[in-house]
Structure 1
Amino acid sequence: MKKLELFEPAMCCSTGVCGPSVDEELLMVTSVFETFEGLDSVDASRHNLTSDPDAFVNQPTILKLLQEKGNDILPVTLLDGEIVKEGSYPTLEEFGKYGDVHFVTQSASNSGGCCGGNSGNEGCC
């Protein structure tokens, strides 16, 4: 089983998906981690500097990185204890690679889909 850990900067809540305007990138990250919860192939955890500071102190790689580069380096993603991304969130494609999953996105302009265009599929979304 792969171990995926995301160490995020201080945010107002554990997911960052709060407040008057929702950050689309954080919404995607939250959805990805919800998906990972249902998989046996990856152990995924998300750590916010505000709500889970002990995770930063107890992870030697992250602690060293923060001491050397400061909090501006966050977010940092570890895969099996190794840094795979720092300074920005992974893309959906990168998350898929880390977790050995293929994420499918649905474009709102896709007229053939349940929710796209005028599909006529009332109540499906």
Structure 2
Amino acid sequence: MKKVELFEAALCCNTGVCGPSVDKNLMLMTAAFNTMVKNTDTFDAYRYNLNSTPDAFAQNPDILALIQQEGNAVLPILRVDNVIVKSGDYPTLAELSEFTGAYFVEQSSNACCGDNTTNCCE
């Protein structure tokens, strides 16, 4: 089982997917983490937000040291099986696939339609 942890800067909410303009990378990470959280037989997936879960930062010496050395610009930090694999930017889906061994792909905007593409999702 893979342990996947994402340590993020202070966000407006737990996922950062809120407000008038949503960052596409945050949406992708939210979707990927939702998938990993649902697959408890494959993943232990956790997202930590500096606003809502500051103890997670303080309780992880490697994360805390990296932030103290490089400042908040080092966030987000992705750690897989207790090894920091990426920092300073969200991983792409390809990188997340590489780091976790799972296959993540972005679905097209009409993915909810199935085989029916006329009057899609109205």
CA RMSD of aligned residues (A): 2.3
Paired residues for 1:59-98 under 5 Å: 59-98=60-99
Which secondary structure does the structure 1 equivalent of 2:86 belong to?
strand
Number of equivalent positions: 120
The more displaced of 16-25 and 50-59 is: 16-25
Q: Give the whole-Å Cα distance in 2 for the aligned partners of 1:114 and 1:20.
A: 23
TM-score, scaled relative to structure 2: 0.86
CA spacing shift, 1:115–1:62, aligned 2, 3 Å: same
> Percentage identity across aligned positions?
52
Larger of the two Rg values belongs to structure: 1
The yes-or-no answer on 1:119 pairing with 2:117 is yes
1:11 corresponding residue in structure 2: 11
Structure 2 counterpart of 1:57, one-letter code = A
Q: Which runs of 4+ in 1 moved over 6 A?
A: none
- Consecutive unaligned residues of structure 1, counting only runs of 5 or more, are none
Letter in 2 for 1:70: G
Cα deviation digits, residues 45-88 of structure 1 (max 9, x gap): 00000110000000111011111111111001111111100100
